[in-house]
């Protein structure tokens, strides 16, 4: 029997299997304003996490401008808490990982998606698929993350539901199966028809509750709303059942099909259906790829990887919280873990468990859960923790920056301090730092402009280093590799000033623009360029 088969067999008999099976770890992907914050709040209410929901709301209300966002970043107490929200519902444990809500695209968002097993895609019913939704969806697709769709704001004027389904199918190349169907639109939105049971759940009839939909005859619906044409509704529902594909679990789990729920987060309608759907269909923590082997979630030994680092609330203490997703085993307070990158052991003396109901006493975590590990810079994004085995999880990505800038320092005497600060910021994942081989000043790379604002503010506040950014002659950075050492070295030597090192010492090629990159690519047979790198 192979190692993997053995691991799988012992995993199925593991006493941890029960805990693993009842976990659902997911994120919400959406375009700003589609209703992510509102939906999050309502989901938490189902789990009884009312205090947390209040905090989410506070965050939502204050989040609109850049300066506000910086304030929130400084007020890390809130963002640490809301980075992971855990609640129990129907004997299932849901871990909702927050993706930053601000306008700019950030690497944090991408990386958070490496730590989930499924995602909820929220779409504004009046707008359909928007720019950010599409981008985030692409990231999910790279990892075959199954997606559940929630079409929100059905209480307002919306686009035709068939149209919306068609748009999902065409623009995302994703099959759709409606699980519910809206009855009435906008002001005349009455509720949803449950396709599996044929019942109608009415908005006024307490849509917040879950359970069996109230069985009400379509013909009687008109008595609830005289504007509703019962015959037209029946006809539409017939069309839905004829035209739409039946739900196929396997296809959903493989990321090819999305079940679609309609509702209104604001009115807490359809949210229960969505949550039940997640519980029923979304996968429990799945096996994770490491460089050496697949690690099954119910294996007895603890393993985890770090996908996010957050500086702590108090800028005088340079400690950080590393967010680690458990991949297997059980993590308990005080246990020893091996940091595979360095080979050293560390004691997890004060891990933070994000368990909404009983945060104070929860002191163990299982596969799918996220824990916060306070440290002084020992842990980096992409790090693997184990109980001794030398495995390294793969798939936490670094993305080639979309903006490159040179850092200009007002006071040249502080160059060494800047170097240290940039190193720390890049280990934290705030920005990427590239050091040109020719000794010229370091460049920083970001995916969105906001990251530069954050870097500038933090260098000033935490390191007393006022900096500016200059446009550089280079616009693009690409990691590169070659099959053999000689080809690699020849390329490096031929491109002296266009070669830089990233935080791990890996080399990148800096190009003036896409055209130059294409030109170089053509002239450099044997060299492969990539814009995504696995963090080591």
Interface residues with ligand GDP (CB under 6 A) are 30, 32-38, 60, 101, 152-153, 155-156, 264-266
Q: Which is nearer to ligand GDP, 114 or 264 (CB)?
A: 264
**30 annotated among ligand-binding-site residues:** yes
Q: Which is nearer to ligand GDP, 9 or 33 (CB)?
A: 33
From CA 122, how far away is CA 96, in angstroms rounded?
Answer: 14
What is the SS3 string spanning 363-427?
CEEECCCEEEEEECCCCCCCCEEECCCCCCECCCEEECCCEEEEEEECCHHHHHHHHHHHHHHHH
- Contact assessment for residue 103 and residue 10, using Cβ atoms and an 8 Å cutoff: no
From CA 22, how far away is CA 368, in angstroms rounded?
Answer: 10
In the complex, least distance from residue 76 CB atom to ligand GDP, rounded to whole angstroms: 20
In the complex, least distance from residue 171 CB atom to ligand GDP, rounded to whole angstroms: 19
Q: Which is nearer to ligand GDP, 64 or 241 (CB)?
A: 64
CA distances from residue 26 to 99, 106, 420 in whole angstroms, order as listed: 10, 18, 35
For 386, the token pair is 């184990």
**25 annotated among ligand-binding-site residues:** no
Q: Which is nearer to ligand GDP, 31 or 533 (CB)?
A: 31
**358 annotated among ligand-binding-site residues:** no
**319 annotated among ligand-binding-site residues:** no
In the complex, least distance from residue 270 CB atom to ligand GDP, rounded to whole angstroms: 9
Percent helix / strand / coil, the chain, rounded to 5: 35, 30, 40
Q: Which is nearer to ligand GDP, 35 or 498 (CB)?
A: 35
**484 annotated among ligand-binding-site residues:** no
- Contact assessment for residue 483 and residue 477, using Cβ atoms and an 8 Å cutoff: no
From CA 372, how far away is CA 368, in angstroms rounded?
Answer: 13
How many Cβ atoms from other residues are within 10 Å of residue 210's Cβ?
17
Q: Which is nearer to ligand GDP, 270 or 329 (CB)?
A: 270
In the complex, least distance from residue 133 CB atom to ligand GDP, rounded to whole angstroms: 10
**32 annotated among ligand-binding-site residues:** yes
**102 annotated among ligand-binding-site residues:** yes
**100 annotated among ligand-binding-site residues:** yes
**489 annotated among ligand-binding-site residues:** no
In the complex, least distance from residue 192 CB atom to ligand GDP, rounded to whole angstroms: 13
- Map residue 165 onto helix, strand or coil: helix
Q: Which is nearer to ligand GDP, 158 or 472 (CB)?
A: 158
In the complex, least distance from residue 32 CB atom to ligand GDP, rounded to whole angstroms: 4
CA nearest neighbour of 177 among 122, 251, 263: 251
Contacts with 67 (C-beta within 8 Å, 6 or more apart), sequence order: none
In the complex, least distance from residue 137 CB atom to ligand GDP, rounded to whole angstroms: 15
How many Cβ atoms from other residues are within 10 Å of residue 351's Cβ?
21
Q: What is the largest CA-CA distance in the chain?
A: 81
For 182, the token pair is 């809206």
**99 annotated among ligand-binding-site residues:** yes
In the complex, least distance from residue 265 CB atom to ligand GDP, rounded to whole angstroms: 4
Q: Which is nearer to ligand GDP, 30 or 451 (CB)?
A: 30
Binding residues for GTP, by number, are 30-37, 98-102, 152-155
Binding residues, by number, are 30-37, 98-102, 152-155
């Amino acid at each position: 029997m192979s190692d993997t088969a053995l691991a799988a067999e012992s995993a199925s008999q593991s006493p941890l299997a029960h805990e693993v099976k009842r976990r659902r770890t997911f994120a919400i992907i959406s375009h700003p304003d589609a209703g992510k914050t509102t939906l999050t709040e309502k989901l938490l209410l189902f789990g009884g996490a009312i205090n947390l929901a209040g905090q989410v709301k506070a965050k939502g209300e204050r989040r609109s401008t850049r300066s506000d966002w910086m304030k929130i970043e400084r007020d890390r107490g809130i963002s640490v808490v809301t980075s992971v929200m855990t609640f129990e519902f129907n004997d299932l444990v849901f871990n909702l990982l927050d993706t930053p809500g601000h306008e700019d695209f950030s690497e944090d968002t991408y990386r958070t998606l490496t730590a989930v097993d499924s995602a909820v895609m929220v779409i504004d019913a009046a707008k359909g698929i928007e720019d950010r939704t599409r981008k985030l969806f692409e990231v999910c697709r790279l990892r075959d993350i199954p997606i559940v769709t929630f079409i929100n704001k059905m209480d307002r004027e919306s686009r035709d539901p068939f149209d919306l389904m068609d748009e999902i199918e065409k623009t995302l190349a994703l099959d759709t199966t409606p699980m519910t169907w809206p009855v009435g639109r906008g002001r005349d939105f009455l509720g949803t028809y449950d396709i599996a049971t044929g019942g109608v759940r009415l908005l006024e009839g307490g849509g917040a509750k879950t359970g069996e939909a109230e069985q009400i005859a379509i013909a009687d619906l008109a008595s609830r709303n005289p504007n509703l044409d019962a015959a037209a509704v029946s006809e539409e529902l017939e069309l839905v059942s004829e035209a739409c594909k039946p739900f196929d679990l396997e296809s959903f789990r493989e990321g090819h099909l999305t079940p679609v729920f309609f509702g209104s987060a604001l009115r807490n309608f359809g949210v229960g259906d969505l949550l039940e759907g997640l519980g029923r269909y979304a996968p429990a923590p799945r096996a994770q790829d490491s460089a050496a082997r697949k690690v099954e979630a119910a294996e007895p030994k603890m393993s985890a990887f770090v996908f996010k680092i957050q500086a702590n609330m108090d800028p005088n203490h340079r400690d950080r919280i590393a967010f680690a997703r458990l991949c297997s085993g059980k993590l308990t307070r005080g246990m020893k873990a091996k940091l595979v990158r360095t080979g050293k052991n560390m004691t997890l003396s004060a891990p933070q468990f994000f368990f909404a109901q009983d945060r104070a006493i929860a002191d163990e975590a299982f596969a799918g859960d996220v824990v916060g590990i306070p440290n002084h810079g020992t842990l980096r994004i992409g790090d693997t923790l184990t109980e001794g085995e030398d495995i390294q999880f793969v798939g936490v990505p670094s993305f080639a920056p979309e903006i490159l800038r040179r850092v200009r320092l007002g006071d040249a005497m502080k160059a060494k301090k800047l170097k240290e600060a940039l190193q720390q910021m890049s280990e934290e994942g705030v920005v990427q730092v590239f050091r040109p081989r020719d000794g010229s000043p370091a460049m920083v790379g970001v995916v969105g402009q906001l990251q530069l604002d954050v870097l500038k503010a933090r260098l000033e506040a935490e390191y007393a280093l006022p900096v500016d950014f200059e446009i550089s002659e280079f616009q693009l950075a690409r990691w590169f590799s070659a099959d053999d050492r000689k080809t690699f070295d020849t390329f490096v030597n031929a491109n002296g000033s266009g070669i830089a090192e990233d935080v791990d010492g890996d080399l990148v090629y800096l190009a003036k623009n896409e055209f130059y990159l294409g030109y170089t690519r053509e002239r450099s047979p044997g060299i492969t360029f990539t814009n995504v790198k696995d963090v080591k």
